[in-house]
């Protein structure tokens, strides 16, 4: 078993890293051009050059000003098990018939034992331009990792953020259930949605496989088919029901239900029927769970249902009956949740599918993977579009907290710079806009990038936390955000900055790399 040194110097056995959740996540799950480049690096004798890549995104999704980072564990699982099988190599030979045998021998030997991965903990609230993951290693190997890493982070972070946004609108005390499996983009979309919506703050899923794989609480009601499958009460053949404590048996439960129904006022809905069954069950010591509304005006119907439950409680002295859980579903999204809140409603739990898991209002997060240094030489990607210019250098990243405990700004520095210190004023600069800068005296400094895969270095490796720990981190991080960054309408952008030294270097490199045009 692998042993790693702990920060305090002692060594403990590191928990072994499991295979990727989805068996389709293999070294072949990448774009052809990564192999083309790996071959070209190899051919040029460059393949072992040490390179540093940053994985980041450029813009927060859903018109918001924050993103929940997710997908890290699956990235680490991929690299922990990264090697080409014989069949993979044969396939690549058939795809690249003009490449030398030695190249395929090289591919056979590749693993990630010489790759270092630093990342922000999964479940953290993150912002544009700040590297979520920094990957360092032989350029050919890290190049092959680009597509799977971006793939594993993109949807995971997008859907976790979508879930967090739905939670924000619904409020803390509502039960949120992810109901999206049938509408998700295929099996992986469905499983991933269940996992990452849970991280983003959902309480449960209807997806049984996700419950089995990840231990996410399973919840569910029943569908229209079940109700409409009965054409008449005559179809109910087994009429007896044992009391909850087993002490007696009601021989004709249907008649008991009908007796209750005759006592309830008539309402043109299933509510009196439900109440009659619930009251009959109550007679036998059972507690009914509640109802689900799946059509019509959910604010109105939930309020009517609640009033009915309360009147039953009062009229028949059934303590607690008024608190019967009301679940709602049917094309819910942030807007409908917000509208329901504004109107007032009596819904306790929401089941949300299509809009949540398909991320209907934003198709992708747009993560990118950019080379920032090779052979100790910083690299920059230039673009006419300033938002696409990358931030060069192997960097360290910090989150600085202010007096009130809220996060104030993220700052990137060069690797060898003195890190920010509590109580010490430092200049934080916008990476590209000269006039945007601020002094900050941090009350707390959090280093964002931590070592999740030390490669051949002897750094201690962060353990991969359980899903519940990741979810807790997410909840706690969202709490620490100032409310103006979180609001849905015109939220304040969170500041992402670079140190004065890094700022000067970016602009020096930019000028030295940008060709000077000639006017004629």
Ligand X SMILES: O=C(O)c1cccnc1
Ligand Y SMILES: O=P(O)(O)OC[C@H]1O[C@H](OP(=O)(O)OP(=O)(O)O)[C@H](O)[C@@H]1O
Which residues contact ligand X (rule: CB under 6 A)?
Answer: 179, 206, 220-221, 292, 329, 351, 353
CB 321 to ligand ATP: min, Å:
24
The pair of structure tokens assigned to 272 is 């009196």
Q: Which residues of 183-208 are buried (b: 16+ CB within 10 A; e: fewer)?
A: bbeeeebbbbbbbbbbbbbbbbbbbe
Secondary structure (3-state) at 372:
strand
Stretch that binds Mg ion, among 91-99, 129-137, 328-336, 381-389 (CB under 5 A): 328-336
Longest pairwise C-alpha distance within the chain = 100
CB 102 to Mg ion: min, Å:
58
The pair of structure tokens assigned to 375 is 């052979």
Radius of gyration of the chain (CA): 28
Task: List the Cα angle 88/91/94 in 5-degree steps.
Answer: 155
Q: Residue 299 interacts with ligand ATP (CB under 6 A)?
A: yes
**Partner from ligand Y, Mg ion, ligand X, none contacting 354, C-beta within 5 to 8 A by type:** ligand Y
CB 337 to ligand ATP: min, Å:
9
Closer residue to ligand Y in complex, CB, 65/334? 334
Q: Which of 254, 260, 263, 259 is nearest to 234 (CA)?
A: 254
Q: Report the C-alpha gap between 17 and 375 in whole angstroms.
A: 30
Q: Report the C-alpha gap between 67 and 140 in whole angstroms.
A: 30
Q: Residue 185 interacts with ligand Y (CB under 6 A)?
A: no
Q: Residue 373: beta bridge partners? A: 52, 378
Closer residue to ligand ATP in complex, CB, 127/168? 168
Stretch that binds Mg ion, among 77-85, 120-128, 299-307, 323-331 (CB under 5 A): 323-331
CB 352 to ligand Y: min, Å:
5
Binders of ligand ATP among residues 313 to 342 (CB under 6 A) are 330-332, 336, 339-340
| Alpha carbon 178 to chain centroid, angstroms | 13
* Element at 511 (helix H, strand E): helix 500-513
CB 188 to ligand Y: min, Å:
18
Among 100, 105, 297, 331, binds ligand Y (CB under 6 A): 331
241, 250 contact by CB (below 8 A): yes
Q: Residue 332 interacts with ligand Y (CB under 6 A)?
A: yes
57, 388 contact by CB (below 8 A): no
Closer residue to ligand X in complex, CB, 60/329? 329
DSSP 386: G
Closer residue to ligand Y in complex, CB, 140/359? 359
Provide the angle, in degrees to the nearest 10, between the axes of the packed helices 32-43 and 101-109. 110
**Partner from ligand ATP, ligand Y, Mg ion, none contacting 474, C-beta within 5 to 8 A by type:** none
Helix spans in 269-394 (H) = 271-283, 298-316, 334-343, 354-357
CB 178 to ligand Y: min, Å:
9
**Partner from ligand Y, ligand X, Mg ion, none contacting 471, C-beta within 5 to 8 A by type:** none
Binders of ligand Y among residues 76 to 95 (CB under 6 A) are none
Contact map string, positions 200 to 219, toward ligand Y, x by CB under 6 A: --------------------
Q: Residue 353 interacts with ligand Y (CB under 6 A)?
A: yes
Closer residue to Mg ion in complex, CB, 180/272? 180
90, 95, 100, 102: CA torsion to nearest 10: -40
CB 180 to ligand ATP: min, Å:
15
Closer residue to Mg ion in complex, CB, 330/362? 330
Q: Residue 178: beta bridge partners? A: 205, 352
Stretch that binds ligand Y, among 110-118, 330-338, 363-371, 511-519 (CB under 6 A): 330-338
Q: Report the C-alpha gap between 26 and 83 in whole angstroms.
A: 8
Q: Residue 378: beta bridge partners? A: 373
The pair of structure tokens assigned to 500 is 């004065």
**Partner from Mg ion, ligand X, ligand Y, none contacting 18, C-beta within 5 to 8 A by type:** none
Among 20, 119, 298, 478, binds ligand ATP (CB under 6 A): 298
CB 181 to ligand ATP: min, Å:
18
Secondary structure (3-state) at 54:
strand
The pair of structure tokens assigned to 13 is 């056995």
CB 448 to ligand ATP: min, Å:
38
177, 203 contact by CB (below 8 A): yes
**Partner from ligand X, ligand ATP, ligand Y, none contacting 340, C-beta within 5 to 8 A by type:** ligand ATP
150, 460, 84, 145: CA torsion to nearest 10: 20
Q: Residue 297 interacts with ligand Y (CB under 6 A)?
A: no
CB 264 to ligand ATP: min, Å:
24
CB 132 to Mg ion: min, Å:
35
Q: Residue 354 interacts with Mg ion (CB under 5 A)?
A: no
CB 295 to Mg ion: min, Å:
7
Which residue is closest to ligand ATP by CB? Answer: 295
Binders of ligand Y among residues 214 to 243 (CB under 6 A) are 223
The residue whose two tokens read 């069954």 is 277
Q: Report the C-alpha gap between 50 and 114 in whole angstroms.
A: 10
Residue 3 has phi, psi (to 5 degrees) of -120, 140
Which residue is closest to ligand Y by CB? Answer: 353
Residue 219 has phi, psi (to 5 degrees) of -140, 155
Residues forming the site for ligand ATP (CB under 6 A) = 295-299, 330-332, 336, 339-340, 343
Residues forming the site for Mg ion (CB under 5 A) = 330
């Amino acid at each position: 078993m692998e042993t790693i040194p702990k920060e305090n110097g002692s060594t403990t056995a590191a928990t072994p890293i499991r295979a990727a959740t989805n068996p389709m996540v293999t070294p072949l799950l990448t774009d052809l051009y990564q192999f083309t480049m790996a071959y070209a690096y190899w051919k040029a004798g460059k393949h072992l050059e040490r390179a540093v890549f940053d994985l980041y995104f450029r813009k927060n999704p859903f018109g918001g000003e924050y993103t929940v980072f997710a997908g890290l564990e699956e990235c680490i699982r991929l690299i922990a098990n990264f090697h080409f099988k014989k069949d993979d190599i044969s396939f690549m030979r058939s795809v690249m018939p003009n490449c030398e045998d030695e190249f395929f021998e090289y591919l056979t030997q590749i693993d990630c034992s010489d790759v270092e991965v630093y990342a922000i903990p999964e479940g953290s609230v993150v912002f544009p331009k700040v590297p979520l993951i920094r990957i360092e290693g032989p350029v050919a190997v890290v190049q092959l990792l680009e597509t799977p890493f971006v793939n594993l982070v993109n949807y995971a972070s997008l859907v976790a953020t979508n879930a967090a946004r739905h939670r924000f609108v619904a409020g803390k005390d509502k039960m949120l259930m992810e109901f999206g499996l049938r509408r998700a983009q295929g099996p992986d979309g469905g499983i991933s949605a269940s996992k990452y919506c849970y991280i983003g703050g959902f309480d449960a899923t209807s997806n049984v496989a996700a419950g089995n794989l990840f231990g996410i609480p399973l919840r569910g009601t029943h569908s229209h088919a079940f109700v409409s499958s009965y054409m008449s009460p005559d179809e109910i053949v087994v009429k007896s029901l044992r009391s909850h404590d087993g002490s007696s048996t009601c021989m004709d439960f249907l008649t008991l239900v009908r007796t209750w129904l005759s006592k309830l006022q008539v309402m043109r809905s299933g509510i009196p029927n439900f109440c009659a069954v619930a009251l009959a069950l109550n007679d036998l010591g059972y507690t009914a769970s509640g109802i689900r509304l799946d059509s019509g005006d959910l604010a109105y119907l939930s309020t009517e249902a609640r009033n009915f439950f309360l009147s039953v409680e009062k009229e028949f002295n059934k303590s607690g009956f008024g608190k019967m859980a009301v679940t709602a579903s049917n094309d819910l999204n942030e807007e409908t949740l917000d509208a329901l809140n504004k109107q007032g409603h009596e819904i306790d739990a929401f089941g949300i599918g299509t809009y949540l898991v398909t991320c209907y209002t934003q198709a992708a997060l747009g993560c990118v993977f950019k080379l920032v240094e090779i052979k100790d030489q910083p690299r920059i990607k230039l673009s006419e579009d300033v938002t696409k210019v990358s931030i060069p250098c192997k960097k360290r990243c910090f989150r600085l907290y202010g007096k009130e405990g809220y996060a104030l700004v993220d700052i990137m520095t060069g690797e060898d710079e003195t890190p920010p210190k509590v109580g010490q004023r430092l200049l934080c600069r916008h990476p590209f806009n000269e006039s945007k800068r601020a002094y900050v005296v941090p009350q707390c400094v959090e280093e964002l990038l931590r070592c999740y895969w030390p490669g051949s270095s002897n750094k201690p490796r962060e353990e991969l936390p359980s899903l519940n720990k990741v979810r807790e981190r997410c909840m706690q991080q969202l709490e620490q955000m100032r409310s103006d960054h979180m609001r849905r309408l015109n939220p304040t952008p969170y500041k992402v900055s670079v140190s004065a030294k890094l700022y000067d270097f970016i602009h020096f490199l930019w000028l030295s790399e940008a060709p000077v045009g000639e006017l004629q």
